[in-house]
Every structure is written in C-alpha cells, then in structure tokens.
Amino acid sequence: MIWNREQYMAHMRFEDTGRELFCELFGPLIGLEEEWAAQGASEAERNLSAFGWDYVLREDLPVRTGAITGLSERIVEDTPEYTISIDRMGRTQKLCKGRATIPLPLDYPVKTMDDWLKIRHWYTFREDRVDRDAARALAKRQQQGTLVLGRIPGGFDEPRQLMGEENLCIALYEEPEMIEDMLNTFADTALKCFERVSDILTIDNLFVHEDMAGKSGPLLGPNLIREFVGPYYRRVWDPLERAGARLFSQDSDGNMNAVIDAFLEAGINVMFPFEPNAGMDMVTTRRRYGHRLAIKGGIDKFALRGTIEDVERELTYKLCPEMMGGGTVFALDHRIPNGVPIENYRYYVRRGRELLGLPAAEPSAFVPMAF
C-alpha cells in the first residue's frame, strides 16, 4: 500500500487508520541478492518488489541545512579489496568492498576551536541553501498527499563527522564552548532555511540522524543530551511544531534505552530502528512509554537466519495486539543480513501479513522507509 501524508501522520500519532504499516527500512546488505539468486529467487524477489512493501509518498524539503564545503570527493587509490578517497569534508576515508556500504574516515578536519572556526562557514546560512521555486512545486504535491521531510544535522553525529567519536566525547568536557557554537550554528542555519519556506508549505516530519550507540549503550548520557543536544533540538523543533509539524524522528542504531527520556524531553516522538541484539525491545518500550513514542523497526533481523520456528517466534512476540492500532511501523531492525535464506524471508513476509491482518502481497515498487 502507498500511504499518503495524512494516513501516515495519523498512524504515527496513534490514530487507528484501520491498517497496520509493514515495510523494509533499509533493504538488503551487499551480497544478499547474489545469495538469493543461487537459491532460485526471482528478480522481483531480489529487488524486493515482489513483497508488496508499504511505503509513504514523501519528499525532502528543497533546502540544505548541513555542510556546504565546496570540496568534491576524489579517489586516491582503488583496489579490488578497498577504495581510499578524500571526501567532501576533506577527510581521507577507506571503503572495504563487498563488506561495507559506509566508508571509514581515517582523519578529521576539527581538533581545536581554531580548526572549527576555519570551517564554520561550511554551516552558516546563505540564500542559495533554499530553493523557493522547488518548494512551491512541492507544496502542490503536498496538497495531493506527499509527506514533506525536513532534515537537520545530528547533534552528536555531525560533530562526530567533524571530529571523530573520541575527540568529540573529550571536547564535550574540555571544550564545551566549541560544541555549543557548533550546535548553535546548525540551529541558526536550519531555522533560517525553514523560515524561508514557511509561507509556502508545512514541514510534516523533522528528521535527524545520530547513530550514537552500540550494544553497551549510547556514547552520550542523558545529562549531556540535556545540556547540549536537547536545547539544539528544541530550538529547531518548537517553532516547526507551532507551524504544524507533527513528527520528529530520530535514527540511531544501538541501545538507546538510557537516553529515551532525555530525547522525549527534546521533542523526539519517533525512534528507529530498535535493534534487539543491542538490547532494544519494542514491546517493552511500548509498555513503558505508551503513546509518547512511535516505533519503527524492532523485528530481529537475525531471527530470519534461523529456523522457520525462530521466525514464527519473533513475529508472534513483536506483532502482538498491544503494538497495533497506530504508532508502529513493523519492519526489520536494519538491513536484511547475509545468510537469510529466501525461503525464510518469504515466510516472514507471508506470516507477518497474516498476523497484521494484511492482504497477500502484490508486486509493487520497493521504497525504503528510513526517515
């Protein structure tokens, strides 16, 4: 089913639309399509169009709130095993082919306040960040059912991109003024960008990417979130919410349990992907937070590597009545991993639809729902 903005926002605000939302957030990991081809999967199964996944009509707001560096990516070394490149932030990075989809930075542009001040102009506002003509065209599509998505740099993730995790975590204690200036700059620019189109359309869903946690927990505790990240979020979210925005979604892998309360205070009302192997349990979270937090993902992707009984057990637990009726996007907790047999995936889709009361899958385009 293709969901429009009104249906999706109602569902995510815990209104019963009469239908559950079942999708893929990200799609397969590299190499899985080849595994499935060897197991006899059709082309439509390999590209996921055979499974009739739900998705939402959506488009990004035509503004750029993040870094505009003026740098272009260039390849330094390319081998069958890896690629070394210089990215648009001037970082040397390495991508291991066949095993990774995201390159690993080997160095970073910011170590001190002086370094930050040299590149601060990457994030300051300029009028060419906003395309008002494109916004007018998008406003017409919004009236026809397209969800408008606004993005902001992560309060943890963007400084991490500039500094690396270790340097950032130290700087929060030793150079807090620099981190505050970064976040204030991000907020100033985002607000000016959004203000430039506020007379044209409404931002429906504000989105932020963080990826700030591992299995043992988040790299920032609730006190640091309340001191640094929360005020940044609120500066952007509060005026958008007053103007009609309804959803503020956050993408972070890992175990975020310790900081859910702090992020709810900061305005977040949707979180994903809820990785069970990192300690996230969507059912337990729903029981604790009720309608304060909508959930996307949460179904253990690794259960699909096991037996049919393992898949059945996972689905029976997660696709339970208390998770239905709005506020849940049922999906795997990240990309479909290598080692998942096509027969298990077929069962997952078929049985999941049965438990959710959905009709049999009809072929349709596959559109990821990671936002």
116-130 residue pLDDT tens:
999 999 999 999 999
Closest CA to 157 of 63, 68, 251: 251
Place of tokens 């009104």: 6
Instruction: Quote the percentage of the chain above a pLDDT of 90.
Output: 97
φ, ψ for residue 84, nearest 5 deg? -105, 130
State yes or no: pLDDT of 100 exceeds 90. no
Residues 56 and 160: their CA atoms lie apart, in Å, by 30
pLDDT for the residue numbered 223: 98
pLDDT for the residue numbered 152: 98
What's the start-to-end Cα distance of the chain, in Å?
18
State yes or no: pLDDT of 102 exceeds 90. no
220 pLDDT band, cuts 50/70/90, is: very high
State yes or no: pLDDT of 280 exceeds 80. yes
pLDDT per position as a tens digit, 139-187: 999 999 999 999 999 999 999 999 999 999 999 999 999 999 999 999 9
Query: Is residue 282 within 8 Å of 318, Cβ to Cβ?
Result: yes
pLDDT per position as a tens digit, 332-363: 999 999 999 999 999 999 999 999 999 999 99
Closest CA to 247 of 77, 38, 36, 8: 8
Distant-in-sequence, close-in-space partners of 82: CB < 8 Å, separation ≥ 6: 94, 95, 96, 97
State yes or no: pLDDT of 99 exceeds 80. no
Query: Is residue 60 within 8 Å of 149, Cβ to Cβ?
Result: yes
Residues 283 and 252: their CA atoms lie apart, in Å, by 18
State yes or no: pLDDT of 22 exceeds 90. yes
Tokens representing 63? 């503004």
Tokens representing 37? 């081809």
Residues 107 and 19: their CA atoms lie apart, in Å, by 47
Distant-in-sequence, close-in-space partners of 208: CB < 8 Å, separation ≥ 6: 151, 152, 153, 154, 155, 157, 233, 248, 249, 250, 251
Is omega for the bond preceding 159 within 30 degrees of 0, making it cis? no
State yes or no: pLDDT of 97 exceeds 90. no
Where helices occur in 71-220 by DSSP H, the ranges are: 113-119, 132-143, 157-163, 165-174, 176-197
Higher pLDDT, 99 or 119: 119
101 pLDDT band, cuts 50/70/90, is: confident
212 pLDDT band, cuts 50/70/90, is: very high
Q: What is this structure's pTM?
A: 0.95
DSSP-derived 3-state class of residue 175:
coil
**What is the pLDDT averaged over residues 209-232?**
97
DSSP-derived 3-state class of residue 289:
helix
pLDDT for the residue numbered 98: 78
pLDDT for the residue numbered 62: 98
